[in-house]
Amino acid sequence: MPINPSHAQDVWKDVGEHVQFTVLQLNRQDPQHDREVFQEFADRSQAIIRSLRIRDAKPETGTQLKVSIGISSSAWDYLFPDAPKPRELETYTTLHGPKYSMPATAGDLFFHIRASNEAVVYECQTQFQRVLAPITSVLDETKGFRYFEGRAIIGFIDGTEAPAIEDAADYALVGEEDPQFINGSYAFAQKWQHDMPIWEHMTTGDQEKAVGREKFSDFELDDDDKFKNAHNVASKYEIDGVEQKIVRMNVPYAQPAVGNIGTYFIGYARHWTVTKGMLQNMVDQGDFLLTFSKLLSGQVFFIPSRDLLAQIADDDF
């Protein structure tokens, strides 16, 4: 069976106007009960999404609600101990470089919800919690937003290196190499906190050398004009000389009055090993963005296809 994007969850580049990332931890008090609740959630979540898309639909634009639901490796082992497992799903462990690290944090269930209406995001997560709250605890809840022109909070165009929408499926979705999990995706979620005064005191020219692109036009600089650890240099990952790509988004979040400003990075990939290779390059080369940032979280999740969610709901997995 070939890759079919219509069977996948929403693992595409569309930051949305209003965004919420939520990470839950299973309380792990009763495995059989928890499995039954999650099966109910696998069924109800899709009905909730369909209902909200109807309620939110506009004649001129339709609905803008997009949702991805992910499961960590440890949660997979707990909920489905006798079932097969996605080939590349593992528990993320801290990546170390000469100067910087990318820490691993806990998390069992992951939600990436975005819409043009904050009320829709609110209602979606609220209804999800009506099912899951009795068996989970909240580890993190981060609200993101669309910055000017869809730029990252540091002022640069986001996602230029991500594949175009017409090409994204081959980079984002598991294929026939793991047929039981076809149309699923590996999501890496990572929360960055930036020391914005450091960044804002840099000249525009130095910021461009740090990112590797012109700030206004997004035109890529020549390699000789970039810092050696420019972001688009350090995050580049190749296999046999061929650059590898994932679907990635940088979503701003902020509490500006207290200076809590950062980026929630989400990357969807056909192969977790590709994302992992990019991250390792970033710490090995000391990506310039790490010089004024603190990493608060990091975890990998598997995003099942909608078909697999239906199988889970029917206890046919």
Task: Say which residues have a Cβ less than 8 Å from residue 226's Cβ, sequence separation at least 6.
Answer: 209, 212, 232, 233
pLDDT number for residue 62: 61
Residues facing residue 145 across a β-bridge: 18
Mean of pLDDT values over 248-264:
96
The kind and range of the H/E element at 90 are none
Dist. CA 12–CA 67, nearest whole Å: 10
Mean of pLDDT values over 200-210:
98
* Amino acid letter, residue 147: Y
Token digits of residue 268: 């969807």
Band the pLDDT of 226: cuts 50, 70, 90: very high
pLDDT number for residue 217: 95
What is the overall mean pLDDT for the chain? 95
Q: Enumerate the domain spans of the chain.
A: 5-313
Q: Are 289 and 195 in contact (CB under 8 A)?
A: no
pLDDT number for residue 61: 67
DSSP 8-state code for residue 110: E
158 is catalytic: yes
pLDDT number for residue 139: 98
Percent of the chain with pLDDT over 90: 90
Band the pLDDT of 297: cuts 50, 70, 90: very high
Enter the pTM of the model. 0.96
Token digits of residue 82: 């006798």
Token digits of residue 140: 């993190």
How many C-beta atoms lie closer than 10 Å to residue 7's C-beta?
A: 15
Percent of the chain with pLDDT over 70: 98
Band the pLDDT of 159: cuts 50, 70, 90: confident
From the list 10, 158, 167, 170, the catalytic residue is 158
> In this predicted model, what pLDDT tens digit does every residue of 91-116 receive, in sequence order?
999 999 999 999 999 999 999 999 99
Mean of pLDDT values over 268-282:
98
C-alpha distances out from residue 187 to 62, 73, 216, 298, 300, Å: 26, 12, 30, 11, 6
Phi/psi at 103 (nearest 5 deg)? -70, 150
